[in-house]
Amino acid sequence: MRTQDPNIRIKNFNEVALGLTEEEAVSEAKRCLKCKKALCVGGCPVEIDIPSFIEHIAKGEFAKALDKIREKNSLPAVCGRVCPQEDQCEKACVLSNKKIPIGIGDLERFAADWGMGRQTRDHRPKTVDRKINEKVAVIGSGPAGLTCAGDLARKGYDVTILESLHKPGGVLIYGIPEFRLPKNIVGIDVDFVKNLGVKIETNYLVGKTKTIDELKEDGYKAFFIAIGAGLPYFLGVDGENLNGIYSANEFLTRTNLMKSYLFPEYDTPIRVGERVAVIGAGNVAMDSARSALRLGAKDVYIIYRRTEEEMPARIDEIRRAKEEGIRFELLTNPTKFLGNADGWVNEVELLKNKLGEPDSSGRRRPVPIKGSEFRMKIDTVICAIGQGSNPLLPATLAKLKLNDDGNIIADERLMTSINGVFAGGDIVTGAATVIEAMGAGKKAAGSIDQYLRG
Ligand code: FAD
Ligand code: SF4
């Protein structure tokens, strides 16, 4: 896929990847073998009929392609941009063994973008097999919540999403930057879900505005908790409270949700120095580093304790970060931060690692090399080492069982320890991916339907 030139794109927040033309999409779709036993479908957590939608594109039937995707997926414009297809459908594609797998994600994005501003099929249920008037509350409007709500609305339920922030979308709106996932694109997929009949109430913090027990009194018969993993982890080393050290969560929320890159047109400021250290190497770290660069930093370093092979970020995003001039300090771990007399960070002490035996994640464990400490001048730090679950809502449900990490325990139907209360997405699995959260939302919708039918 064509992209903006790296030298130009580091000076703007416009989307980096530019999408396929009609000719490119048709030609890519024609490579598909239309396999009878399509392995790609098994690699898709929401089970899109991939060969059928690709065949429609190959024939130039773009509206039909989009309708086919939307039968299973309410967020195709989002998925086509940020899903790790290389680990999902494209990895399973039969052509991945021989040549290059079909660019399923690129084709999904093409179909979704083609549909923008065009009238496509109405996906609301035409007839409901019985009068379903039960009210269902979905808590959280990230990919898990939106998918569950959309699927329940298609089945005819009266669904309301309750969202604590002022805009729906979860990480899609507050975390992933504009240059990777434009917010008007998220808005289009959210509008599709609303058009299925889903109501969305924002500025509604369940656990504070109302508890689940109070919502039961309002007539809600089932709940889906999809509140994500939005609580940032820190390193726990000396100097971490110095000024100039952000959690990636705060840094990205200020930048994306509050649009600090458009300050003073938008009134949230952000301070980024000249030499920025981003700790971690997942998607969150790449997004933070590339945002810092666009906000005016001169030298941006990814500091990671393992090697490139173990980096959790998407391969495409690592490649794009390199193209943009992000530097990588690998096999390196911060041990303390140092500051000036005014309390601002100005240096980081780092320790070199070597790789040892694999740990429980299957990745080789970083082993510190004694005496290898060195220091680097920096003036901003962004800590992107992972997120955990926010305890606010779980603390209001005495019978809700949590695991040692504070994640909600759910059974194979995604029912929690409380009857009628389901949970899925990052709040159950810990920080994962958009499509896994959507898969959980789909599964929960099926289980809630069965539960409400008795
Ligand atoms: P979330 O998206 O976190 O949504 C949860 C929602 O619940 C939020 O809107 C929150 O405000 C709301 N909420 C929380 N508590 C309450 C409450 N008490 N009451 C009401 N509402 C509440 N995955 C990919 O597949 N590809 C990527 O490229 C990618 N990049 C990422 C980049 C960043 C910066 C981050 C942070 C994550 C990224 N991920 C990526 C991971 C992916 O975004 C998450 O796995 C996914 O969003 C989880 O979905 P969710 O619906 O479970 O939760
Ligand atoms: Fe097409 Fe690959 Fe799916 Fe076969 S496995 S139908 S070639 S996308």
Pocket test for ligand 1, best of 165, 225, 283 (most atoms within 8 A of CB): 283
List, for residues 183-224, the tens digit of each pLDDT value: 999 999 999 999 999 999 999 999 999 999 999 999 999 999
H-run or E-run covering 55: helix 50-58
Among 59, 48, 63, 41, smallest CA distance to 113 is for 63
Q: Is the peptide bond preceding residue 264 cis, with omega within 30 degrees of 0?
A: yes
Residue 37 CA to ligand 2 center (angstroms) comes to 9
Mutation choice for ligand 1 from 78, 227, 254, 392, CB with most ligand atoms inside 8 A: 227
Amino acid identity for residue 440 in this structure: A
The answer to whether the beta carbons of residues 305 and 353 sit under 8 Å apart is yes
Q: Phi-psi region for residue 47, left (φ > 0), alpha (ψ -120 to 50) or beta?
A: left
177 within 8 A of 289, measured Cβ to Cβ: no
Distance CA 65, CA 50 (A): 9
What are the DSSP calls for 5-49, one per residue?
A: -HHHHTT--S-SB----HHHHHHHHHT----SS-HHHHT-TT---
Residue 131's pLDDT is 55
Please report how the helices 22-30 and 50-58 are oriented relative to each other, as an axis angle in degrees rounded to 10.
120
pLDDT band with cut points at 50, 70 and 90 for residue 102: very high
pLDDT for 276: 98
Enumerate the H helices of 336-433 as residue ranges.
426-429
pTM: 0.94
Cβ 132 under 6 angstroms from ligand 1: no
Task: Write down the number of H helices and E strands in the chain.
Answer: 18, 16
Give the neighbor-by-neighbor strand order of the sheet with 421-423: 199-201, 158-162, 135-139, 220-225, 421-423
Banded pLDDT at 128 (limits 50, 70, 90): low
In this prediction, residue 130 has a pLDDT band, given cuts at 50, 70 and 90, of: low
Give the other-Cβ count within 10 Å of 265's Cβ.
Answer: 7
> CB–CB of 63/120 below 8 Å?
yes
Per-residue pLDDT for 133 more than 80? no
What element of type H or E holds 111?
A: helix 104-114
**Distance from Cα 49 to the centre of ligand 1, integer Å:** 26
pLDDT of residue 99: 75
Mean pLDDT over residues 254-281, rounded? 94
pLDDT at position 97 is 85
H/E stretch holding 63: helix 62-70
238 confidence band (pLDDT: 50, 70, 90): very high
